[in-house]
Structure 1
Amino acid sequence: MAEWCTIESDPGVFTELIKQIGVKGAEVEEIYSIDNLEDCKPVYGLIFLFKWMSGPQKECMEFYDPDLFFANQVITNACATQAILSILLNSKLDIGPELRNLREFAMPLDSQTKGLTIGNSEVIRNAHNSFARQEPFELVKVKATEDDDVFHFVSYIPFNGHIYELDGLQPGPIHHGECNEEDWLEKIKPVLFERIQKYSENEIRFTLLAIVNNKKEIAEAALREQQSHISAIQSKLMSLGVEIDSSYMEIEFDEDYFNNLPDDINQLQSELYAKQEAAKQQQNIVENESFKNKKWKEENVRRRHNYIPFILALLQKLADKNQLIPLLEQAKKKKKRDNPEQQEALNK
């Protein structure tokens, strides 16, 4: 089975990854405070990144909902993508033909074979490995030891009235109680707090991500609706003999909405103002999300770009001009000035 690279835990990376796989209408958002989970609704699932530590095996379910897709992680370095897939394959999102076919094919299989099925998906593997870091040399891969920092991803999802923790390194799902779509985020908070407190004495590096609806697409749809309503109200006012700025008149509107508008001019003008303000708010969201997406795209291009030939060529030119050693000594002096205590320790 082909190797999978390690990838950076970043919402821009994960959002582009799921788009490459064929998922529509979704994005990944980083959560900075567990207390504010409800602000992200609807949340299809949470991805929790933490430093993995050996310990007793958790109480896992041997028998569980037959419609729940649970796969063991059998691929090294794939825990991030597998955590994302654990949410997508159990969600109501438009996951695209690749994941639909994978789910349909793998559902009757055991969890180990499900993991192998994920590993054999060329589309998923290529999307994952497209974020591989450029390396200047072919490095010998060494198995991680207990002294190395090893990070792991797990997923939390609501599914058919229950909260599940899906961890590919466990033999089965972990049940965290009953829920509904409205209260599952409130009920998962104690689980997350408990997990963080368990490690907080020795570890502070945690990341919490959520798979949510694509904010830009939602705002664009809301903006189109507001513009349609503005067009209808303007048409109504004009039919009543009111002169207006007909900037939205070319936008097609819903006839039912138009027919239900009142004939009172003051009411119509008040409604028009409210719709215009709402449209401005949605336009601001669209612009902010467009800026965010552009930034993500630029960062992902930089992640994929191979800067190594440029760096090696620069070092070679500096060496040819006898500038490399002087620059190195200059950097050492600056480092010593900036942090004399650290430099003194290094010299001992």
Structure 2
Amino acid sequence: MSGEDDSSGWQLTESDPGVFTELLKTLGVPLVVDDLYSLDAASLAAFQPIHAFVFLFKWVSSPSESMQGQFDVDFPGFFAHQVVNNACATLAVMNAIGNIPGLPMGTQLADLVSFTTGMDPQTRGMAITSSDWLREAHNSLSPPSAISLEGLGLPKTAEEAYHFIVYLPFMGCVYELDGLKQSPVRHGAFQEQGEGWLAKAREVIEARIATYPPGSLEFSLLALHEDPIPNLERQLSAAQAAGNNAAAEEILIELSNENNKRERWAFENSLRRHNYVGLIHALLKALAKGGKLDAAKDAAKKTMQERIAKRKEKGESSMDED
């Protein structure tokens, strides 16, 4: 779960495909992640083969909430509990890639998966979150924490907590792997023909989304799938060898779009790693020198008051965003 304190040493992670894809690259896993805005067959077909869905939602403690599916206490696959705050993104990734047969992975990750084989979920979660190199990989795409507000006596505000879980196929059934639950949740068997496991997963996820108020934007969905670039490059070579210029042109456009997306992700990740305190300090000095700091401060206060008023109109308390 994210949105708690960071005393564990694990920092908050954005629900962003570029962040997750960079994490997978660091782990030596040749998969990529993309945002999903629809679960219809046409939208999913663009990312086939899909190995798992990563679902982010606002966590609310509801003991009386009826649970879909059934706990599988004898789940024979890879499953780890989340035992520290803010690690749910990497735990979700681990619970996904640990259940993909024959998936290539880096040496450190392979050793960690092998080391935790046979452990119960709680012990496995402790082993994973105690891994310094994995925590560093997780934190490498979190904004630098350059300013501490500790000791200033500022009033504490409640924070919205968001949580990552995974839906994936395993031994003919769709499973939900949630590091905060005692066991994986089995959502039933799926048909191999047609869309396969995706049809069952759609049913489960849409039912989950339907529990939110209409129009809610308190969740996001990511697809963990094969990297399309190697396949596109093979298709391009085949089309060029066959002299099929029209097909080659279409493939070149797809390949260019994918490469442009990776360049954008790399740029955005470089921004996430940058420490902007120096820039902010220089801007504040320039505003003060030009006699514009007080006006900027008043404008910022007015903007914050307007945001608080809008939240109160919606019946929300004043909260910090993750």
Tell me, yes or no, whether TM beats 0.5: yes
- One-letter amino acid matched to 1:192: I
Greater helix share, 1 or 2?
1
**Residues 202 and 42 of structure 1, relative CA distance in 2, 3 Å threshold:** closer
- The C-alpha deviation readout for 1:180-218, integer Å capped at 9, x for no partner, is 565100111111111111123594321010111112222
Instruction: Tell me, yes or no, if structure 1 residue 27 matches structure 2 residue 32.
Output: yes
Could you say which residue in structure 2 is the equivalent of 1:87? 96
- The C-alpha deviation readout for 1:108-138, integer Å capped at 9, x for no partner, is 1111111012112223211111122234421
Match among 90, 104, 110 for residue 114 of structure 2: 104
Segments of 5+ residues of structure 1 without an aligned counterpart are 231-271
Could you say which residue in structure 2 is the equivalent of 1:15? 21
TM-score, normalised via structure 1 length = 0.76
Could you say which residue in structure 2 is the equivalent of 1:116? 126
Conserved? CA contact 2:82–2:88, under 8 Å? yes
Shift of 1:150: 0.8
**Residues 189 and 333 of structure 1, relative CA distance in 2, 3 Å threshold:** closer
- Which one has a bigger Cα radius of gyration? 1
**Residues 323 and 288 of structure 1, relative CA distance in 2, 3 Å threshold:** same
Conserved? CA contact 1:162–1:179, under 8 Å? yes
Conserved? CA contact 2:53–2:166, under 8 Å? yes
How far, CA to CA, are the matches of 1:216 and 1:139 in structure 2?
A: 44
Conserved? CA contact 1:69–1:89, under 8 Å? yes
Instruction: Tell me, yes or no, if structure 1 residue 186 matches structure 2 residue 195.
Output: no
TM-score, normalised via structure 2 length = 0.81
Aligned pair count reads 290
Equivalent residue runs for 1:175-324 within 5 Å: 175-179=186-190, 182-201=195-214, 203-227=216-240, 229-230=241-242, 272=243, 275-324=244-293
Could you say which residue in structure 2 is the equivalent of 1:265? none
Q: Secondary structure at the match of 1:199?
A: coil
How far, CA to CA, are the matches of 2:182 and 2:120 in structure 1?
A: 11
**Residues 201 and 333 of structure 1, relative CA distance in 2, 3 Å threshold:** closer
- The C-alpha deviation readout for 1:65-90, integer Å capped at 9, x for no partner, is x2x10110112101111111111111
How far, CA to CA, are the matches of 2:251 and 2:106 in structure 1?
A: 28
Shift of 1:319: 1.8
- One-letter amino acid matched to 2:84: I
Identity percentage of aligned residues: 38
Conserved? CA contact 1:46–1:210, under 8 Å? yes
How far, CA to CA, are the matches of 1:307 and 1:147 in structure 2?
A: 26
Judge which range, 308-317 or 8-17, deviates more.
308-317
Q: Secondary structure at the match of 1:3?
A: coil
Instruction: Tell me, yes or no, if structure 1 residue 160 matches structure 2 residue 166.
Output: no
Conserved? CA contact 1:158–1:180, under 8 Å? no
How far, CA to CA, are the matches of 1:167 and 1:8 in structure 2?
A: 18
Conserved? CA contact 2:144–2:275, under 8 Å? yes
Match among 57, 60, 67 for residue 71 of structure 2: 60
